[in-house]
Structure 1
Amino acid sequence: MSYIPLLSIIVLITSPYGSVAQERESHTGRIRGKVVTDDGHIAQSVTIKIKSLNKTTVTNSSGEFEFKNIPFGKYTIEAVMIGSNSASIMVELSADNPGPKVELQLEYSSQKLDEVVVHTGGNRFAKKESDDVAKLPLKNMENAQVYTVVSKELMKEQIVTDYNSAFKNVPGAGIAEVRNQGRTTSISRGFPTPQVVRNGVGSFTYTTIDPANLERIEVIKGPSATLFGSTISSFGGLFNRVTKKPYESFGGEVSYSAGSWDLNRLTADINSPINEEKTALIRMNTALHSERSFQDAGFNKSYLLAPSFLCKVNERLTLTLDAEISGSKGTSPMRLLPLAPTNASPVPIATSIKELNIPYNLSFANNTVAYTSQQYNIFAQMKYKISDHWTSQTIFSRTRSSSDGYVTQLRVRSATTVRQEVTLQEYPYYGTDIQQNFIGDFKIGKLRNRIVAGFDFYSLKANRNDAAVNMTDINMTVPGAPYNNFTAAKIVPMFATATFNNFTANKENTYSGYVSDVLNITDRIIATAGLRIDRYFNKGIFTPATGILSGDYNQTAYSPKFGLIYQAVKDKVSIFANYQNGFSNNSGTDFNGNTFKPSWANQAEGGVKLDFSKINATLSYYDIKVTNILIPDLINGNSFNVQDGTQLSRGFEGELIANPVAGLNIIAGYTYNFSKITNGSVATNGLRPTTAGSPKTANFWISYRIVKGDAQGLGIGFGGIYGSEYYQTNVNATAAAPAFKFAVPEYMVLDASIFYDRPRFRIGLKVDNLTNEKYWSYRFQSQNPTKITGNIVLKF
């Protein structure tokens, strides 16, 4: 009982009613507001002044500002930004209105504002606002879900020339796993997560992604099936590529990068209004890229065309149409399969890739043994403002991605030999996503509701035609003549007698309905609840040669979501908790012929978010439990499965984005993940899954640029990534084989840059992997040693 008076005081002080009462009594108030650009985007790092009181502040990452302890009276609030006309508004504070809210609009596009923020030294990388994360406009401080944003400004500063390098800025992502078709998979909360989401909807891009058209990358953490479904999200979350959109003024840039291993990269970004009214806009992004491997063989050549059109039909209706069309040719990323011990030879020849002593600079590839890929993505969106409270959003996305040609993997055969295994493949994917959302913002009584209700149809189809051949064993340290004979001319005749697989590998349709409501219970307490219903149809595998269809099944899944936020300091400190759910469909039947249910992932999470003008941070602890995993049926034989496997993934994530002084920007992240199969097969029970990545990871980037004087725009950057050791193979002893662990070693990679950024040009030099660290991906692909890249950008 002694705590009740204290709790009452705390509630009174932290509640809006308590603060209002105090302000009325002291004859002071506060002025809160938001600044937006003329194209409707938030305006970050804008200077806000009350000249008569000589008070100044800066808008935060949400474009918001606040003045406290302002005496009652009339004041002019002015928003000032270099290169833009100032905006002002008159405000009156009184006992009846001690906390007015205002909105100011700058005559400045968001694209041009980004350039201004670069030179004024604000918290440039703390842009968290998104319409995709919650499928409705929701500030980070109002969202009980954790997410990370990698902005185009950060990618420019780091001279990112390939998509995977951007993930150095994502806590826990680790070293990207590049698969046979060039597609990328990264880690999120202990689960492999593919890159198959674009602008918030499905985009099954199973080829290399060029970063030239990226506005930002949104990494949404935790099971996210309620709003996104299971096909495009993992139990750890999803990666959303947000592409560049047209804006209302003419502008753009042309960029050229050159560097180690014959890197040549030319990109262009050109934007223009089509008519005088600026109701029709066009933007074109394009890239030409070529480079070779640091190893003795290996290369990649690619192109990208990405036009985007926007038409404001009237005040209510806006249409958007864009496309990404790309193609590439190159050698496949090498995959290495270690040699496991046997009962006859129980001692492994090596327990890590370092122990194996394969020469780091040898590719075991040949530039004639290559593949080509092609990808297009068509995206169309119609937004219609039904009323002041409701908006309709209709989205159509159509994707085709394919890779045709040779992909190679290495298999360890003995302590001294390896074997190249080559697959000739034709493997196209076709994806269609049609989505209809109704987005509302209204009050029921005094309770504000922000709601999204939608329907989604997602279709995925893949055809497969491939065959594999094995080359002769070669010495891994002194390869000899067989190494030189690994060419397309030698390989082609071997496929004349190879057995090809030709079938429809995937044919899936998913019909979904979902609803999510963000409810302001008070000014500081926000609750979220959502539910998704998925009806999934798998048409099975069809083999034309036999006319047999197998493996077809249907499943229904329900995915709820709950969240709660308490803003201890309004719009600045949010304490949050959430429950989120994800699922994954399972094919097949058990011994009795019963079809399986989806596997479920349930997450409980809590933490705190901070958003001040100088610092933005998120700290969270999560606990994910996966149930209904398929494991071998030990009673009826391993050819059958039972559905009682479980897995845990829990851990801590921290992210910091800071701007302690003008010109100095800091990004830092740390993750600890504990993953364990708590009920699995004999071989894996009690072990960390091999696909969970490093238990501990860290990342940071610190940059400083001069923001005043003759040297304005001159800057330096320094950063790095760390990952602890983990296992690519991790199995217990069984009757068939002894226990075996094969490690991906710990790594620490450091980078540095120097740049000179002016309104009309930018020059930069980046050195990746300063210490020439040897490190590998999950598939044991050797990563680049020290690499130097120069970049020059002309802006207009």
Structure 2
Amino acid sequence: MRALFTFLIACFLTGPLISYSQSISSQPNIVPSTGKITGKLTLVDGQPYGSASVSLLEIKKSTLTNDKGNYSFNSLADGTYTIKIQVLGAAEIDIAVKVVSGQTTIANYQLTRENIQALQEVTIAGNTNRLSQKESIYIARLPLKNLENPQVYNTVPKELITEQMATDLGSITKNIPGASIPVIANQGRVTYFSRGFETEPNARNGVAGQAFSSIDVANLERVEAIKGPSATLFGNSVSSSYGGLLNRVTKKPYNDFGGQVDYFGGSWNYNRVAFDVNTPINADKTALFRLNGATTYQKTFADQGYTNNISIDPSFSYQINDRLSLLVDIEFGQETGTSVVRFNPYTGGGTVANPKIRNIATMGFPYNRTFMSNDLTYTTQMLNIFTQLNYKISDKWTSQTIISRARSNIKGDITALTGRTDSTLRPNVISGTTSFIATNIQQNFIGDFKVAGLRNRLVVGADYYNNFNDFDRETVNLPDVNFIHTPASYRVSQFKVDSLSTKGSLRKEKNEDNTYSVYFSDVISLTDRLKVMGSLRASRYMYLGVYNLITGTTAGGLGAGGITAGPYNQNDLSQKLGAVYEVYKDHVSVFGNYMNGFFNDSGVAKDGSAFKAEHGNQLEFGVKSDVLDHKLVGTVSYYDIKVGNILRTDPTDANYSIQDGTQVSKGVEIELTANPFRGFNIVAGYAYNKSILTKTDPAEEGLRPADSGPARMLNFWFSYRMPTGDLQGLGVGFGGNSGSLSYQTNTNTSKVIIPGYTMFDASVFYDQPKWRIGFKVDNLTSEKAWSVRLTPQAPARFTANLSLKF
């Protein structure tokens, strides 16, 4: 914490020094006059382009375009000047202008390549459909338009987050087709579903950004759900699901002073204050600073439970010269709270001939009871540091260096409830500390050039990823209790847990792994409409083993002390192929892709052969559209994912595993954002997924995996905001999420059904240039619903919001 505040203080103290030193060194010996140069930088479609470097060569001054694409130079002497515009990934632009005392010279420029986008994230304003912002620099690691990209992805922009008054990651992911009810882990960590697989928010600004704790949304510019196995471009450490990955894009500094303060208050003592302050810290506006943060306290609708957190998220960018830029982005969060309910029902008592079928809605488990006390708390601390250095080597090549480090610490009590019979459960409490540290170092070279007359957009990179985990905790099992007829005074307290600590089981261990990768991805424009993509990653995975602090041995126990036992290495290749054809140039494209993902598996089979990496391959095709001046943007796709090399129990010896398991996940996804008439916006999605374990243990053969979520899901949000008149800015919103039934357990002898759900949200707001007020109701009808961990969802929740802008 001290280091964080030292960084902030240093930024504020060094800002004036930077400004002063540059003003001394860069001013020519001329008589000041009132001559002025202003201009605007736009894309080929007329959209403003922000954060581009603009220099005045004769006096060696530089600035950046703002989010409206504007720039200016003041107090210039009469004469002829040369303006140089630098955009990463594009050729230099030199413009000769003449300055006359007392006049303003206009020097506008429109870029000739429509898909140019700086490798340092910028905000491009002016889209007719304000809830549809598809263009991204992270999806393909190249400046590639959505219509040119053969991969499907969904974005949730800050405009939609603001309109829905979404203050947590789970509320944001409700806008992603197929996400289902978010799963809240015991430390506040959120996961969701994608294409039949549980998926975590492991990526931040395109690289490793794991957080084994709650993630505050105060600094989010948008969320990107990248669909399908994506290990080729992101590696399996970040893309840890065959369903895809969730990338959190953070807010970046811009070259103007501004900000916002928000207050939210609502049901169950919900109180939240968030802030966003941005300022240039030198006269030329090339050094910029932004600070986001929030603090939230809330109780739950249940009889016990609360969370109390704070986040501080500073970011600093510096256009060092017209070729070199630096971005530093920090994310700090700390939370104290109690675990959400996690119930694992009793699954015994059934046979293949007569399976036992239970339903969480009818088994008598209380909807609003935790069985725990508020003194069983955990404390988490999360620190993510992201540094990016961009250097424009030439008109055709750019270097991008990224260093990312993510740390999460957990201390205290984590709770769960395990069913013992159809009417009893056993509380479990895990006490102690856990640490997760991930380091990602990445070097990319990004080119845009022609070979034999064909345009190539190429990224070549090397990646190092280190993961370190440290566990020092104890699991305590409490006596069984009847959950249907529980005494009113029953509570599991810290005192009860401490009294049984000598009977608990210990986990004291450390583990670590390293991954070294090289990769490339090339998009070749065979014609103006037809583009093909070829990508390949080669990885070397080195697992250093699990070191047991109690026994002093590494997993496997070989040798004195076991120091050298347990580790293993695996080499893997991951491919990605794709093609896009723009049927209607810049408006409609058809695409197809083949993508691969993998997970490293340790151990040996009964015959002594080492296991290989598990792998998943996706085949997908579909249609993307962006028509009617961005008023209708959508994607329809069909995918088929086949997973192989899954470990399963050896049928000849239960002490071993064999690696011949398979799974199939296929389905259809539809995404739509529309602006049918001025002020009215639609965001909608539908997902159908069919997942089957095609070869596995007999208990699950031919069934849908229990952790696949609902087979059918629908999401929508309609909103209308008055575009003109005395009530301009007044708006209403209405939306909903629906999912079919799913399973917590699904075997041939036992099933635990989670019923389908339909939940509606509604809001009213009044948005003005200097302030905003809003009121929202989540789960309007108090629908009873459960996540896959059987965590009951909150009934109708009321939230009010007041925002002040400056």
Residue 198 of structure 1: CA displacement? 0.7
Which residue of 1 is the match for residue 739 of structure 2?
A: 723
Aligned counterpart, 2:171: 165
Other-structure match for 1:618? 635
Q: How does 1:278-427 map to 2 (within 5 A)?
A: 278-342=285-349, 351-427=358-434
How big is the shift at 1:89?
Answer: 7.2
1:790 aligns with 2:795: no
**Aligned-pair CA distance for 1:88:** 9.3
TM alignment of 1:1-400, pairs within 5 A: 33-40=45-52, 114=125, 122-233=128-239, 234-342=241-349, 351-400=358-407
Corresponding residue number in structure 1 for 2:518: 513
Residue 603 (structure 2) pairs with residue 588 (structure 1): yes
8 Å contact kept, 1:337–1:411: yes
- Find the aligned partners of 2:507 and 2:45 in 1 and give their Cα distance: 63
Q: Distance in 2 between the 1:489 and 1:373 partners?
A: 22
> How many Å separate the matches in 1 of 2:685 and 2:644?
29
Does structure 2 retain, via aligned residues, the 8 Å contact 1:34–1:103? no
Which residue, 670, 686, 696 being the options, matches 1:654?
A: 670
Question: CA offsets, 1:568-613, max 9 Å, x none?
Answer: 0111000000110111111111112111111111111000000122
Aligned-partner Cα distance in 2 for 1:347–1:38: 65
Matches within 5 A, 1:535-546: 535-546=540-551
Separation of aligned partners in 2, 1:627 and 1:584: 11
Secondary structure class of the residue paired with 2:170: helix
Map Cα deviations across residues 260-318 of structure 1 (whole Å, 9 max, x no partner).
00000000000000001011000000101010000110000000000000011000000
Aligned to 2:86: none
Structure 2 residue corresponding to 1:691, chosen from 707, 712, 725 = 707
Q: 1:365 to 1:347 in 2, by over 3 A?
A: farther
Distance 1:527 1:345 in 2: 49
| Aligned equivalents of 1:592, 1:269: Cα separation in 2 | 60
The code of the aligned residue for 2:131 comes to F
C-alpha contact 1:340 1:348 (8 A) present in aligned 2: no
Counterpart contact for 1:456–1:512, Cα < 8 Å: yes
1:776 to 771, 783, 786: 786
CA contact (8 A) 2:622 2:638 kept: yes
1:181 deviates by: 2.3
Distance 1:662 1:196 in 2: 37
Give the letter for the 2:728 counterpart.
Answer: Q
Q: CA deviation at 1:445?
A: 2.8
Helix, strand or coil for the counterpart of 2:791?
coil
Q: Secondary structure at the match of 1:170?
A: coil
Asked if 1:454 corresponds to 2:461, the answer is: yes
Please, what TM-score do these two structures have when normalized by structure 1? Answer: 0.85
Deviation at 1:490, TM superposition (A): 2.5
The answer as to whether partners of 1:43 and 1:110 remain within 8 angstroms in 2 is no
Q: 1:316 to 1:188 in 2, by over 3 A?
A: same
Q: Distance in 2 between matches of 1:354 and 1:543?
A: 42
> In 1, Cα distance between the equivalents of 2:245 and 2:779?
28
2:35 corresponds to which residue?
Answer: none
TM-score (norm 2): 0.84
Residue 570 of structure 1 aligns with which residue? 585
CA–CA distance in structure 1, aligned partners of residues 453 and 459 of structure 2: 19
| Contact persistence 1:698–1:723 (CA under 8 A) | yes
Distance 2:105 2:659 in 1: 64
Deviation at 1:32, TM superposition (A): 6.1
Query: Separation in 1 of the partners of 2:113 and 2:336?
Result: 54
Instruction: Report if aligned partners of 2:543, 2:568 keep a CA contact under 8 Å in 1.
Output: yes
Deviations 1:136-155 (A, max 9, x none): 11110110000000111111
| Greater Cα shift, 589-598 or 785-794 | 589-598
Supply the distance in 1 between the matched residues of 2:452 and 2:601 (Cα, whole angstroms).
Answer: 45
CA distance in 2, matches of 1:431, 1:101: 40
Which amino acid is the alignment partner of residue 275 of structure 2?
Answer: A
State the alpha-carbon separation in 2 of the partners of residues 345 and 558 from structure 1.
40
* Equivalent residue for 2:655, pick from 612, 616, 639: 639
- Is 1:602 the counterpart of 2:608 in the alignment? no
Residue type at the aligned position of 1:36 = P
> Which of these residues, 516, 527, 533, is aligned with residue 522 of structure 1?
527
200-209 vs 543-552, which deviates more? 543-552
Uncovered stretches (5+) of structure 2, i.e. residues with no partner: 1-42, 53-63, 70-103, 556-565
Mapped to 1, the partners of 2:44 and 2:270 lie a distance apart of 49
Partner of 2:499: 493
The answer to whether the Cα contact below 8 Å between 1:766 and 1:788 also exists between their aligned partners in 2 is yes
> 1:349: Cα distance to partner?
7.4
- CA distance 1:42–1:749, shift in 2 (3 Å): farther
SS at match of 2:140: coil
Structure 2 contact 762–776 (Cα < 8 Å) conserved = yes
Counterpart of 1:178, as a letter, is I
Deviation at 1:688? 0.6
String of CA shifts for 1:322-346, please: whole Å, max 9, x gaps.
2111100000122101111236999
Classify the secondary structure of the residue corresponding to 2:636.
strand
C-alpha separation in 2, matches of 1:111 and 1:713: 26
- The answer to whether the aligner puts 1:558 opposite 2:573 as a matched pair is yes
Q: Choose which of 678, 692, 709 in structure 2 pairs with 1:676.
A: 692
2:388 counterpart letter in structure 1 = Q
Distance between the aligned counterparts of 1:348 and 1:492, measured in 2?
Answer: 39
Residue 497 of structure 2 aligns with an amino acid whose one-letter code is: I
Unaligned runs of 5+ in 1: 1-30, 47-84, 92-99, 733-738
The residue identity in structure 1 corresponding to 2:623 is V
Please state how far the C-alpha of 1:348 moved relative to its aligned partner.
7.5
2:721 aligns with one of 689, 699, 705:
705
Give the Cα–Cα distance (whole angstroms) in 2 for the partners of residues 564 and 654 of structure 1. Answer: 20
**Greater Cα offset, 369-378 or 356-365:** 356-365
- Does the 8 Å contact 2:65/2:255 carry over to 1? no
SS at match of 1:154: helix
How many percent of aligned residue pairs carry the same amino acid? 46
Cα offset, 1:499, TM superposition: 3.3
Aligned to 1:153, the other structure's residue is in SS state helix
Residue type of the alignment partner of 1:307: P
Deviation of 1:386 after TM superposition, in Å, equals 0.4
For the 8 Å contact 2:476–2:503, the answer to whether it is kept is no
Distance 1:395 1:45, change over 3 A: closer
The AA in structure 1 aligned to 2:603 is G
Moved more, 299-308 or 188-197: 188-197
Could you say which residue in structure 2 is the equivalent of 1:25? Answer: none
**Equivalent residues of 2:535, 2:577 under 8 A apart:** yes
C-alpha distance in 1, partners of 2:774/2:637?
A: 35
1:515 to 1:111, Cα distance in 2 relative to 1, 3 A? closer
Give 1:86 deviation, angstroms. 14
In 2, the alpha carbon distance for the partners of 1:656 and 1:518 equals: 26
